Structure formats: structure tokens, C-alpha cells
Structure 1
């Protein structure tokens, strides 16, 4: 799957987050690219993430405008076969 058909992926992360690293490694294994937004170095980004996700933990993952959730949510969606449809521009 090429990134040209994939909606933009945004990861809200912090430096000391093992699940953030795991999410990035998973996306990299799928050949995907993402925009990383560090909330530990940007207070405005943290506020934006909390407003969008209504959660304070990281990572918070968005594919297009759809809030996937954290790493566990991403992996559950992958196991259920719903992630590929979302990545190809379909709904969850």
C-alpha cells in the first residue's frame, strides 16, 4: 500500500513512551509514514490532542480525521482486519 492512497496518519507522542515507539515500529513495518507531534515539548499540541482525543495518555493515533486511540486500540483494529480498510480511505 502506498502512502498516496493512505489518509494522513498523525501520532501524538512523548519522548519516554514505549507504546509510542511500538506504534511507530508497527507503522514502519507496514511501510507507512506519519506526522509525529511531540506533546512533551509543545504544550499547545498537548491541549490540541486532549481536545481531539479526549484522552491525556500517549500515543494518540489519528488516521485522517478518525481517532484510532492508543497503541492497544491500533493493534486491536489491526487484528480485527479494520485497519487496512481505514488506511485505504474507508471507514473503520
Structure 2
């Protein structure tokens, strides 16, 4: 009896995973046109969390890309930016640094000016 249920359960789990994943991709594609900030971060990174919190509190949209398990993407970002810590934050495809740089831009009112340039 258990063998008879194994295949339908696995098929259902695969279908659910595919559905959730494809919906996330569609949502991300739509958001890319509206968001000028991209944050590459890791799951439990306190600076990543603070950067997203800062933007959320200001109602500034952003794309959050989790690179916790993507060592290749992390290496590319490290080589491209010269920074070895997360988050890697880009505004209008220009690397601005990490959380501290984002907070400094916010504190000096430069963040709003950068976002309004384009």
C-alpha cells in the first residue's frame, strides 16, 4: 500500500514546488521593471536584514536575491566589487557598497536623489 502512494505523493510535491517556483519567477520579472535597487545577501545576515528594513521603512522597492548557497554568484560579486562581505547593494546597476553605505546615503538624503535620477 505504501509503495502505491509513493509515486503520487512525489508527483504532487514536484508539481507544488514547480508551481511555487514559477510564480516567484513571474513576480520577480514584473518587479524588475519597477525596482532600481538590488540587494544580494545571505539568509541570516544581520546587515542584509537591516538594509531591507531601512528600505521597507521608507517604502522603497527593491529586489532581494539570496546568495546563501550560491558560492559562484558570491565569488562573481566579490571579484566585481572588491567587497568580501554581504550585502552587495546596487542602485541603478551601480555598486554602492553594503548596509553602512546605504545608511550613509539615506542619512545624507542622497538615496532619494539617486533613485530620482532615472
TM over 0.5: yes
Query: Which structure dedicates a bigger proportion of its chain to strand?
Result: 1
Partner of 2:64: 36
* Structure of greater relative contact order (alpha carbons < 8 Å, 6+ residues apart): 1
Unaligned runs of 5+ in 2: 1-30
Displaced runs of 4 or more, over 4 A: none
State the 1:7 CA deviation: 5.4
Partner of 2:73: 45
Aligned to 1:37, the other structure's residue is in SS state: strand
Query: Which structure dedicates a bigger proportion of its chain to helix?
Result: 2
Unaligned runs of 5+ in 1: none
Q: What's the TM-score once normalised by structure 2's chain length?
A: 0.65
Q: What's the TM-score once normalised by structure 1's chain length?
A: 0.81
Larger CA Rg, structure 1 vs 2: 2
Cα-Cα RMSD: 2.1
